[in-house]
Amino acid sequence: MLGLFCSLSLQYKHTQLSFMSVPVRAIDRLRKAANLDPTKKVVELSDGTKFEMYVSPLTMAERERAQRQTKSDDAGAFALQLLITKALDDSGKKLFAPGERDVLKNEVKDADLQKLMLAILSDEEDSEEMDPNS
């Protein structure tokens, strides 16, 4: 019986090694390199407090969707749409509802809103990744 187990084990290892020599497709390499996991962004607001949010890197589909939803070429409207769409809390829930667009535009300091929108658009390497188990 032990001889059969060793034979199957060697066969399994041989099969596994043969798959390692298969060239990786370009699309698979790009998808693996993308790392679309949300990262923590911390923005200092004008009152000195820290605002934390989690944001995943922007994809082409998200950019196109935000452009369609703004229905204009206004860069500010585009960035605000991305903020509303992409800003998450530490549990992965959206921080803003679409209906809060006017509140953000009219009741938040422009300087603070600009910092938040810039954080959404920036792709900083040193951001902290969101823990999917939290």
Q: Give me the residue spans of the domains in the chain.
A: 34-126
- 13-31: pLDDT as tens digits: 444 444 556 788 999 999 9
Residues 93-124 pLDDT 10s: 999 999 999 999 999 999 999 999 999 998 76
Structural element, H or E, at residue 104: helix 101-107
CATH number 3.30.2220 is the correct assignment for the domain at 34-126: yes
Is residue 55 within 8 A of residue 86, CB to CB? The reply is: yes
pLDDT of 7 higher than 80: no
Neighbours of 33 (CB within 10 A): 7
Contact 102, 61 (CB under 8 A): no
pLDDT for 60 equals 95
Give residues with Cβ within 8 angstroms of 116, minimum separation 6: 43, 51, 53, 83, 87
Whether the pLDDT of residue 134 is over 50: the answer is no
